[in-house]
Structure 1
């Protein structure tokens, strides 16, 4: 796994996008060489699987992108189907989830590159876990994605090592 490209970007926007990509890539790499059954397995006491973590990460990125764009999210989950975001349905494949995430990634990059400033803000939704009437910046969004993916990449490392002994950091 490469930490960043061989060329380190000099500006903040590109640097933050590079860190998001680094963590995104770390999570995606945990699927390499596995069968669909291995990727869907839950070999620890957790309910998490590698394919489920990747699906969750793709949907989380899409949700944050739609919030930042202030557009509706056609994949928004209710409390009743929240857990479905952590496992592939019978109609879904890892390839389809990764292709969806690639489209989300491209849209996020285009969006972030097009915003006038990383200081531009968008409102957080009305939810018990967010302060009421709060706005966050595009910078905050990118840092949040780094945090989200780093957390789940750690989960994925443990799951992958449990599945077949493969260690992310060698």
Structure 2
């Protein structure tokens, strides 16, 4: 699973190759999504879900209220900053997963309207979610990049 996640991270990061900070922050579609914002969001999402794997639902103690701000680079943040943070998150994920004796071990999910009440996710299920999330956003990023400068990064 880590190999698959790494492959999708590569595709997402590749969409930002040779971009300026201004290009990484540019909206190119009717969506508010930007390439830099997608990198930031996926890094924060992966970090939060791995916190869940380590300590359970309290990883979401702040709820999901900050989610909207995740989709853009913070003031003063560069694309290089976001990519470096994403690399750190990836390394941490790999370290955490390597230390889990049973990927079937899990925790109850936090209360949220999109989770089934009383449901639990295993570390394995979290990794599958991260693969899907990263893959989906790599596709979004490919469209944004093509709209930005015509570059086709995934096909």
Q: TM-score, normalised by structure 2?
A: 0.92
Aligned-CA RMSD value: 1.8
1:82 Cα offset (Å): 2.5
The question of 1:116 aligning with 2:101 is answered: yes
Runs (4+) of structure 1 moved beyond 3 Å? 71-78
SS of 1:20's partner is helix
Match of 1:145 in 2: 130
The question of 1:50 aligning with 2:35 is answered: yes
The question of 1:106 aligning with 2:91 is answered: yes
The question of 1:65 aligning with 2:44 is answered: no
Shift in alpha-carbon separation, 1:40–1:73, aligned structure 2, 3 A: same
Shift in alpha-carbon separation, 1:82–1:149, aligned structure 2, 3 A: same
Structure-1 separation of matches of 2:100 and 2:14: 30
Alignment of 1:1-170 (within 5 A): 16-70=1-55, 73=59, 76=62, 78-79=64-65, 81-170=66-155
Structure-1 separation of matches of 2:77 and 2:96: 27
User: Structure 2 stretches of 5 or more lacking a match?
Assistant: none
The answer (yes or no) to whether the contact 1:30–1:50 under 8 Å persists in 2 is: yes
1:91 Cα offset (Å): 2.3
Shift in alpha-carbon separation, 1:137–1:74, aligned structure 2, 3 A: closer
The answer (yes or no) to whether the contact 2:2–2:94 under 8 Å persists in 1 is: yes
The answer (yes or no) to whether the contact 2:8–2:135 under 8 Å persists in 1 is: yes
Q: TM-score, normalised by structure 1?
A: 0.84
Structure-1 separation of matches of 2:38 and 2:59: 19
Structure-2 separation of matches of 1:128 and 1:109: 30
